[in-house]
A and B are shown apart, each in its own frame.
Chain A
Amino acid sequence: MAQIVIKNIRKEFGDFVAVKESSFTIEDGEFFMLLGPSGCGKTTTLRMIAGLELPTSGEIYLDGEDIAQRPPSERDIAFVFQMFALYPHMNVRKNLSYPLVSQGMPRAEIKAKIDEVAGILGIQDILNRPVGGLSGGDRQRVALGRAIVREPKAFMMDEPLGALDAEFREHMAEELRALHDRMGATTVYVTHDQLEAMQMGDKIVVMNNAVVEQFGTPREIYDKPATMFVASFIGSPSMNFLDFSGSVAPEQARISLSGQDIAIPSMREGASGELAFGVRPEHVNLSVDGAFRGRVLAAEYLGTTQIITLETPNGELKARIASDRKATVGESVGIDFRGDTVTLFERSSGRALRSALNEGVLGHG
């Protein structure tokens, strides 16, 4: 069990920078998600923690010890690969025993340990089967078994559910989270699926273009995005951005959008120029006589809610509203925003402006 501190870590492959100076902390026992689109550097970061890549610069502390330049065998970290990487020339039992054999553990102890792990994962019946014929779920369990059998300080998981069918994935995600809760081991999990990250993670790091965009709990990341990238990457449909130009000053709590006065959280910094008004679809409501008006472009029915696409003077906007409210395409409606949930962004840098909402949360990696 361990705390992992990443400090200014950087990785270059030749001229290509895979990860730019990134820092974050993974607390003991946390289920920690590394989230981002493909090619953003999240897998490289994970591989650096595990020792499969050595960072170009920066430090990685595992329980206070700098392990950044050590080989993986001296780190006591387990890794679950996306394609499982079970040794194809060995049966399930041998696969599970392999990490223990390298430690020189006596045979009787290995056998007892494997039986215990097989019991936890429910794979007692397949111990003597070759790994080639196993189903996806069983392979996944064996891969997990191989990781937990030696009781490492931390687990690294590289999109472990990516190779499973959609219907089974849900089930395995629950199993994985239950296993984590039972063992309480620090886990770092890479995914590009924002839903998976929100559902399973205690904390999330969002990466994009080799940098850490934001680091926090799923709630913080959803409610208080630090950048426009985070705001649009997380949530479906993503956050709306209404463009406007103007200026805000500290303590200001209202802005003007196309001449209409709109409430925002009290600002903590000033800015001027091209700005974006960010609001989640569920914080947009339709009214009959609202002053800020838009025209209905489309309505998508989703059961309990519906997504209404609106055209406003400041750009397109999606609203998630109860499905019983009738909205006809072409109709002109008033639009209300829940002012305390709004985030303002600087268009040029994509950075969120500090306000009463996100004070104390913001901080770039």
Chain B
Amino acid sequence: MSSFSITEPSSRSKWVAGTLVILYAIITMLPLVWIIMTGFKSPSDAISYPPKVVYEPTMEGYVNLFTTRTRQTEEYLTANPPETWADEIVRQYDMVIVGPSKFGERFLNSVIIGFGSTFLSIFLGTLAAYGFSRFRIPFADDLLFFILSTRMMPPIAVAIPIFLMYRNLGLSDTHLGMILLYTAVNISLAVWLLKGFIDEIPTEYEEAALIDGYTRFQAFYKVVLPQAATGIASTAIFCLIFAWNEYAFAVLLTSATAQTAPPFIPTIIGVGGLDWPAVAAGATIFLLPVMIFTIVLRKHLLRGITFGAVRK
């Protein structure tokens, strides 16, 4: 006889749920796997039809991503034998490496702007959320609504005013400008999410610290922050993902010094024909930081998504 239990799902529903989850995982992961695979293909393999699943991996895409190359004469090529494995790869096309590409720089810009704005959003967001959560602030509800309302339209709707403003303030194409812009967009999300987390922390903990001889700031720093770590981690992931992937403002406001990776990667296509392996290589490398950041914080993220569900 089959037994019925409220907490333990039946083996059939487990089987169905498991299949659905695996199917969903395959659907979402497939493009990712394809991008990673394409990064290691030769240009001809990348565009072959039917698509190749089994192929000879090559680093060509990565070499093309990180270098600028030029075609050379036969004499030059015989006079200068290849020195590195990367040289060997480009020699197939009678080319030599003449220097690094801009990708490294753009990638570094993405790191500076993405993590910089995430840090700033979290820093300001935590302080604001703590203030809203713990103190009697005049018009607190209206202020919170105002903060939320900044997210009620797509940020790109204000692109033109921001473009003009940034040009006049000299913030166009600067790291600071982009950090401030992404922080401004993220801060409302950060305040609201973090306020939820901080509201969950009983005030008695801080009061105990106040009684134990600590100042309000020490109590915040030593007692509230460790308790809010979960919320801070998951909020940081959301902020980073937005800043990291943002494309429209990056195209509009950056061109040289502060250009991030998203607007740069498509430009690779134009450099030497449709170099899909180099684009895929760029996308793969671009994915890594967010992936690592999320994996490092995933324990917190899981608790963060289900917050409020288990606390008494």
How far does the alpha carbon of A86 sit from the alpha carbon of B214 in the complex, in Å? 15
Q: Out of B202, B210, B213, B227, which one reaches A83, CB within 8 Å?
A: B202
Asked whether, in the complex, the Cβ of A85 is within 8 Å of the Cβ of B204, the reply is yes
Asked whether, in the complex, the Cβ of A85 is within 8 Å of the Cβ of B205, the reply is yes
For residue A71, which residues in chain B have a CB less than 8 angstroms away from its CB?
Answer: 210, 215
- With A81-B207, A98-B209 known as contacts, the answer to whether A87 contacts B214 (CB < 8 A) is no
Please give the distance in Å from A251's CB to the nearest CB on chain B. Answer: 53
How far does the alpha carbon of A71 sit from the alpha carbon of B215 in the complex, in Å? 8
Please give the distance in Å from B155's CB to the nearest CB on chain A. Answer: 37
Asked whether, in the complex, the Cβ of B213 is within 8 Å of the Cβ of A87, the reply is no
- Answer yes or no: B208 CB below 8 A from chain A CBs: yes
Asked whether, in the complex, the Cβ of A83 is within 8 Å of the Cβ of B204, the reply is yes
For residue A14, which residues in chain B have a CB less than 8 angstroms away from its CB?
Answer: 136
Please give the distance in Å from B209's CB to the nearest CB on chain A. Answer: 7
How far does the alpha carbon of A51 sit from the alpha carbon of B214 in the complex, in Å? 13
- Answer yes or no: A126 CB below 8 A from chain B CBs: no
Asked whether, in the complex, the Cβ of A72 is within 8 Å of the Cβ of B227, the reply is no
Asked whether, in the complex, the Cβ of A87 is within 8 Å of the Cβ of B205, the reply is yes
- Answer yes or no: A211 CB below 8 A from chain B CBs: no
- Answer yes or no: A77 CB below 8 A from chain B CBs: yes
Asked whether, in the complex, the Cβ of A102 is within 8 Å of the Cβ of B227, the reply is no
For residue B212, which residues in chain A have a CB less than 8 angstroms away from its CB?
Answer: 98-99, 102, 146, 150
- The prevalent SS among residues of B at the interface is helix
Please give the distance in Å from B35's CB to the nearest CB on chain A. Answer: 40
Please give the distance in Å from B312's CB to the nearest CB on chain A. Answer: 10
Q: 1/0 contact trace for B191-219 toward A, CB 8 Å?
A: 00000000000101101111111110010
- With A85-B202, A87-B223 known as contacts, the answer to whether A102 contacts B213 (CB < 8 A) is yes
Asked whether, in the complex, the Cβ of B211 is within 8 Å of the Cβ of A78, the reply is yes
Asked whether, in the complex, the Cβ of A89 is within 8 Å of the Cβ of B211, the reply is no
Asked whether, in the complex, the Cβ of B223 is within 8 Å of the Cβ of A73, the reply is no
How far does the alpha carbon of A87 sit from the alpha carbon of B223 in the complex, in Å? 7
Of B202, B210, B215, most buried by chain A (CB within 10 Å of CB) is B210
- Which residues of A (87-105) have their CB < 8 Å from a CB of B? 87-89, 98-99, 102-103
For residue A79, which residues in chain B have a CB less than 8 angstroms away from its CB?
Answer: 207-208, 211
Of A77, A86, A88, most buried by chain B (CB within 10 Å of CB) is A88
Interface size on A, residues (CB 8 A): 23
Interface size on B, residues (CB 8 A): 17
For residue A253, which residues in chain B have a CB less than 8 angstroms away from its CB?
Answer: none
Asked whether, in the complex, the Cβ of B210 is within 8 Å of the Cβ of A72, the reply is yes
| A82 nearest in chain B by CB position | B204
Q: 1/0 contact trace for A57-82 toward B, CB 8 Å?
A: 00000000000000111000111010
How far does the alpha carbon of A51 sit from the alpha carbon of B123 in the complex, in Å? 29
- Answer yes or no: B226 CB below 8 A from chain A CBs: yes
Asked whether, in the complex, the Cβ of A52 is within 8 Å of the Cβ of B223, the reply is no
- Answer yes or no: A50 CB below 8 A from chain B CBs: yes
For residue A103, which residues in chain B have a CB less than 8 angstroms away from its CB?
Answer: 213
Please give the distance in Å from B220's CB to the nearest CB on chain A. Answer: 13
Asked whether, in the complex, the Cβ of A72 is within 8 Å of the Cβ of B226, the reply is no
| B223 nearest in chain A by CB position | A87
Q: Out of A73, A81, A150, which one reaches B204, CB within 8 Å?
A: A81
| B206 nearest in chain A by CB position | A85
- With A87-B223, A88-B227, A89-B226 known as contacts, the answer to whether A51 contacts B205 (CB < 8 A) is no
How far does the alpha carbon of A349 sit from the alpha carbon of B214 in the complex, in Å? 46
Asked whether, in the complex, the Cβ of B215 is within 8 Å of the Cβ of A81, the reply is no
Please give the distance in Å from B163's CB to the nearest CB on chain A. Answer: 45
| A156 nearest in chain B by CB position | B211
Asked whether, in the complex, the Cβ of B214 is within 8 Å of the Cβ of A102, the reply is yes
- With A83-B204, A85-B204 known as contacts, the answer to whether A77 contacts B211 (CB < 8 A) is yes
- With A87-B223, A89-B226 known as contacts, the answer to whether A52 contacts B210 (CB < 8 A) is yes
How far does the alpha carbon of A77 sit from the alpha carbon of B180 in the complex, in Å? 45
Asked whether, in the complex, the Cβ of A73 is within 8 Å of the Cβ of B214, the reply is yes
| B215 nearest in chain A by CB position | A73
For residue A83, which residues in chain B have a CB less than 8 angstroms away from its CB?
Answer: 202, 204
For residue A72, which residues in chain B have a CB less than 8 angstroms away from its CB?
Answer: 207, 210-211
How far does the alpha carbon of A78 sit from the alpha carbon of B208 in the complex, in Å? 9
Q: Out of B207, B213, B223, B226, which one reaches A99, CB within 8 Å?
A: B213
Q: 1/0 contact trace for B10-21 toward A, CB 8 Å?
A: 000000000000
Asked whether, in the complex, the Cβ of B210 is within 8 Å of the Cβ of A51, the reply is yes
Asked whether, in the complex, the Cβ of A73 is within 8 Å of the Cβ of B227, the reply is no
For residue A51, which residues in chain B have a CB less than 8 angstroms away from its CB?
Answer: 210-211
Please give the distance in Å from A334's CB to the nearest CB on chain B. Answer: 56
How far does the alpha carbon of A122 sit from the alpha carbon of B223 in the complex, in Å? 27
Q: 1/0 contact trace for B130-156 toward A, CB 8 Å?
A: 000000100000000000000000000
Please give the distance in Å from A113's CB to the nearest CB on chain B. Answer: 14
How far does the alpha carbon of A72 sit from the alpha carbon of B210 in the complex, in Å? 6
For residue A52, which residues in chain B have a CB less than 8 angstroms away from its CB?
Answer: 207, 210-211
- Contacts A85-B202, A99-B211 supplied; 18 other A-B pairs, CB < 8 Å: A50-B211, A51-B211, A52-B207, A72-B207, A85-B204, A85-B205, A85-B207, A86-B208, A87-B205, A87-B208, A87-B209, A89-B226, A98-B212, A99-B212, A102-B212, A102-B213, A103-B213, A150-B213
* Complex A-B: 6 CB contacts under 8 Å: A52-B207, A73-B214, A77-B211, A83-B204, A85-B205, A87-B205
The 3 A-B pairs with the shortest beta carbon distances in the complex, nearest first, are A85-B204, A102-B213, A99-B212
Q: What is the interface of chain B, defined by CB distance below 8 A to chain A? A: 136, 202, 204-205, 207-215, 218, 223, 226-227
